[in-house]
Structure 1
Amino acid sequence: MKKKYQGSSRVKCAQLQALRRDFEILQMKDGESMTSYCARTMGIVNNMRFHCEKMEDVAIVEKILHSLAPKFDYVVCSIEESKDIDALSLDELQSSLLVHEQNMNRGSTTEEQALKEEVKEREIEAIEMATGITKQMVINFKVEDGINNLTNPR
């Protein structure tokens, strides 16, 4: 039964070689979330362990740290300086990276909102210049129209 699920030794060796290569070339993709990247990494590691490969946690921690997207470079430096990498668990690393990712995303969300507001204001200015109707005129019209609708229902 065991042989049926694991396959012959040649097949097992080939699968393990492919997994080792996948682990070696593993890099975080642009736009990939930390959760997704860690899950992808652990999927490869778990398959390697299933094929009886000895994988120390410290090797996995180092691989994750050195294969993150460039936007995490300062986080990697911070973790390497402040923590003992040899004693750092995978859960601690993932938690720390998730917190940093959330902080980075929070900052970029406010930047995106500011950019959207700026674009909206420029669009309004362009419409005002093209039509001669100002934002205040539109607001006044809506207020007057609302008052007329209240006092003179149709």
Structure 2
Amino acid sequence: MATQSASLSPPVFNWDQYHIWAIRMRAYLRGQGLWLYVEEEKQQPQLGPNPTLNQMRMYEEEMSKAPRALSHIHSTVTDLVFTRIMVCETTKEAWDRLREEFMGSDTTRNMQVMNLRREFEMLRMQEVEKVKEYVDRLMSVMNKIRLLGVEMSDKMIVEKVLVSLPERFESKISSLEDSKDLSQISLTKLVHALQAQEQRRLMTQEDSNEGAMMAAQKGLNVKGRNRKYAGDKRGKERTDGQGGKPSGGRNYPPCSHCKKKGHPDSKCWFRPGIQCRRCKQFGHIEKVCKNKSAQQAQSVEDQQQSSEPEQLFVASCYSMQTTSDVWLIESGYTNHMQQNWRILLGQTKHTAPRSRWEMVSMLRQKLLEM
């Protein structure tokens, strides 16, 4: 009995969600047979002359319905809301006062409906959004419009879903057009069909991702085995022979000179009687000579020094008058210092140079020929 009485208790309005409370309260008053006193002010019946006991009991019961309906409204609102309707004498007056205050006037409701309709038309399904989530968003806006007193059918939601789905559902919509009449399909069937398509697509993606991961793992395993094989092979080559060369499959005892395996004593690079052709010392060959790096550095330095270009320094003096007191000096040679420039050129008859730079060029050319 406690559960039944709890389930029949009226809803409580605490200033929020008036639209939902009004719908629940309307259903509750209809169940109690009291909605007529809220929807319209029903006239109280008149008791005739000489009433019977049954008529008197029915009259008293009808007279108590209007106050009982008002009492239900008073008991289902909080104290803050009750102060707004405490002066109302009838049930209809209290109901209309709450409706006007929390739902607004007709102009306000029309503006709210227009804004919600615009929001409904602008809704689109995102690429990463699921069908159930998108339909829930549509139903949320649709229910807000319905709570404002505007009737909207499920057919409008079906049409909205069909025209706002992303491209990945085009094949499913085409198959539904061929198999069913979309103007008669219900919202529930449409959502179930789209969810089935969504689940198949998700399973296909999971299978492809799993195959890609297996292929990548297989490639890593093969690469690891190849590296291990190459490392083992290099390690085997290091242990065989001297200098990293394989021994050709023959197993030699340790060498008496270098104490290593892989070669006979007669082929050892560190034989006592062998002479290095690089450092001229005995006991090793030039391939393992320790003085190789130092000698290479010395040879590189010598090459750098030898590759420096030779410079020629010539000092000359030119005068407009011919005199025998002029001496020509060529640096680098002690016997190339002459008073007469013709002697340096090795000519007895030569045309005198026209400028100082021409004389220097003639001397340089002569010296190069020597």
Per the shorter chain, which TM-score range? 0.7 to 0.9
- Give the match for residue 101 of structure 1: 198
Change in Cα spacing, 1:91 to 1:5, as seen in structure 2 (3 Å) is farther
Q: Secondary structure at the match of 2:183?
A: helix
Change in Cα spacing, 1:58 to 1:133, as seen in structure 2 (3 Å) is same
Does residue 51 in structure 1 map to residue 163 in structure 2? no
TM-score by length of 1: 0.75
Paired with 1:81 and 1:68, the residues of 2 have a C-alpha distance of 18
- Give the match for residue 137 of structure 1: none
Does residue 40 in structure 1 map to residue 122 in structure 2? no
Does residue 92 in structure 1 map to residue 193 in structure 2? no
C-alpha root-mean-square deviation of aligned residues, in Å?
2.2
Paired with 1:76 and 1:108, the residues of 2 have a C-alpha distance of 21
Does residue 18 in structure 1 map to residue 115 in structure 2? yes
Q: Map residues 2-13 of structure 1 onto 2, 5 A cutoff.
A: 2-13=99-110
From the CA coordinates, give the structure whose radius of gyration is larger. Answer: 2
- Which among 133, 137, 144 is matched to residue 228 of structure 2? 133
- Give the match for residue 69 of structure 1: 166
Change in Cα spacing, 1:120 to 1:15, as seen in structure 2 (3 Å) is farther
Q: Which has the higher helix share?
A: 1
- Which among 109, 112, 122 is matched to residue 209 of structure 2? 112
Q: Secondary structure at the match of 1:133?
A: helix
Identity of aligned residues (%): 28
Paired with 1:94 and 1:15, the residues of 2 have a C-alpha distance of 28
Deviations 1:67-107 (A, max 9, x none): 11110011111112211222211111111111111111111
Higher relative contact order (CA 8 A, sep 6+): 1
Change in Cα spacing, 1:125 to 1:59, as seen in structure 2 (3 Å) is same
Give, in angstroms, the shift of residue 17 of structure 1: 1.6
Q: Read off the aligned partner of 1:14 and give its amino acid letter.
A: M
Q: When the two structures are aligned, how many residues end up with a matched partner?
A: 133
Q: Secondary structure at the match of 2:228?
A: coil
Q: Structure 1: where are the runs of 5+ without partners? A: 135-154
Q: Read off the aligned partner of 2:146 and give its amino acid letter.
A: R
Does residue 30 in structure 1 map to residue 127 in structure 2? yes
- Give the match for residue 140 of structure 1: none
Paired with 1:46 and 1:71, the residues of 2 have a C-alpha distance of 28
Change in Cα spacing, 1:17 to 1:122, as seen in structure 2 (3 Å) is farther
Deviations 1:13-52 (A, max 9, x none): 2221221111111111011011111111111111121122
Change in Cα spacing, 1:133 to 1:58, as seen in structure 2 (3 Å) is same
TM-score by length of 2: 0.33
Q: Secondary structure at the match of 1:30?
A: coil
Q: Secondary structure at the match of 1:87?
A: coil
Between 1:116-125 and 1:48-57, the stretch displaced more is 116-125
Give, in angstroms, the shift of residue 126 of structure 1: 5.0
